[in-house]
Amino acid sequence: MPSFFEKVRTLINANLHGIVDRALEANSLKVMDEYIRQAEQNLEALEDSAATVGGSVRTLKRKYEEFAAAADKLDRDIDTLIMRGKDDLAAAAQAELNTKQQLAQQYYEQWQEQQKQYDAMLKMRRQLEAKMTTIKQEREHLRSLIELAEAKKVTTKTIKSLDGLAKTGDAEISSMAEKIRARLDREDARLDMATSRLTDEIDEAVGQSEIDLQLAERKRRLGLAGGESGE
């Protein structure tokens, strides 16, 4: 899972100017087409993963609510048993209540950690969608720029970047290159703000939830309901 997230983060953090400049250097849109292809594939995989985690969130939430409701009922029943002088039954019910409360707490903690992971994955999906949409839009602008440069006999093969095209001396080409560059600057700035904490959020959510789930499973296997075992 972490390696998959790393691949998605790489796509999200890809430098827009770098992609455009590589396309210009190659005088081809294949670089942008390859990015779009990878983004679409990983977006589909990300949506599948998010759906799986989202299903787990619903299951854990339902389990928590079931055990919490059962614990609440037992709590009320214990008071009734005590009032009727049935201490033996009350003691047995209290033991059962303790178990249900511990299980409810475990399900609650797992639910919260899975929710963090789910929210982080949805955020990644939004950011990747935004980046892919920008690349698709700028692909068309760049195609027009390359066609214009070729029509005017400006050799894009020897021009390594938008900066180079902006300095060709041709007003129309320079204007188009500057507009593309300005849009990329704005988009890079917007995505930088939106993804500034994305890596930390993903690592924290995924890492912590996996650890918690592993420990919870180990406790269940060892027959421990919740807290630490004593000597």
| Highest mean pLDDT out of 104-113, 150-159, 181-190 | 104-113
- pLDDT higher than threshold 50 for residue 76: yes
- The whole-model pTM stands at 0.68
Domains along the chain with CATH numbers: 2-215 (1.20.1260)
Task: Report the share of the chain in percent with pLDDT over 70.
Answer: 77
Long-range contact set of residues 211-219: C-beta below 8 Å, sequence gap at least 24: 212/109, 212/110, 212/113, 213/110, 213/113, 216/106, 216/109, 216/110, 219/106
Alpha carbon distance 12, 6 (integer Å): 10
Q: Given phi > 0 = left and psi -120 to 50 = alpha, else beta, which region is 169?
A: left
Closest Cα to residue 153, out of 181, 173, 177, 179?
A: 173
Cβ-count burial 182-196 (b if 16+ within 10 Å, e if not): eebeebeeebeeebe
Whole-angstrom distance, CA of residue 18 vs CA of residue 165: 15
Q: What percent of the chain has pLDDT over 90?
A: 26
DSSP 224: -
Predicted confidence band at 207 (pLDDT cuts at 50, 70, 90)? low
Quick: pLDDT tens for 36-50. 999 999 999 889 888
Residues 6+ apart with CB under 8 A from 222: 229
| Cβ neighbours of residue 229 closer than 8 Å, sequence gap 6 or more | 222
Task: Specify the DSSP class assigned to residue 86.
Answer: -
* Whole-number pLDDT of residue 54: 92
* Residue 161: pLDDT over 90: no
Beta strands in 75-180 (DSSP E): none
